[in-house]
Structure 1
Amino acid sequence: MTMETLPKVLEVDEKSPEAKDLLPSQTASSLCISSRSESVWTTTPRSNWEIYRKPIVIMSVGGAILLFGVVITCLAYTLKLSDKSLSILKMVGPGFLSLGLMMLVCGLVWVPIIKKKQKHRQKSNFLRSLKSFFLTR
Structure 2
Amino acid sequence: MKPTVFAVSDMDRRTSQISTDHETQETEASSPLNPVPEGVTLGTNLPCWYYFARPLLAILIGGVLFSSGTALSLLYFTQVGNVPYLLGPVFLSVGLMFLVTGLVWVPVVKQRLEHKALTKINEFIFNFCS
Equivalence map 1:89-100=2 (5 Å)? 90-100=85-95
- Residue identity in the other structure for 1:92: L
Aligned to 1:50: 50
Distance 1:120 1:80 in 2: 53
- Residue identity in the other structure for 1:116: Q
**Which structure has the larger Rg over C-alpha atoms?**
1
- Cα RMSD over matched residues? 2.0
Distance 2:117 2:91 in 1: 39
The structural deviation recorded for 1:133 is 0.5
Equivalence map 1:1-137=2 (5 Å)? 43-80=43-80, 85-86=82-83, 88=84, 90-135=85-130
Distance 1:47 1:110 in 2: 18
* Consecutive unaligned residues in structure 2, runs of 5 or more: 1-30, 37-41
SS at match of 2:86: helix
Percent sequence identity over aligned pairs:
30
* Higher relative contact order structure (alpha carbons within 8 Å, sequence separation ≥ 6): 1
Q: So what's the TM-score if we normalise by structure 1?
A: 0.62
User: Alpha-carbon deviations, 1:6-51, whole Å to 9, x = none?
Assistant: xxxxxxxxxxxxxxxxxxxxxxxx9xx678xxxxxx6321111111
* Consecutive unaligned residues in structure 1, runs of 5 or more: 1-29, 36-41
Q: Which has the higher strand share?
A: 2
Q: So what's the TM-score if we normalise by structure 2?
A: 0.65
Structure 1: which 4+ aligned runs deviate by more than 4 Å? none
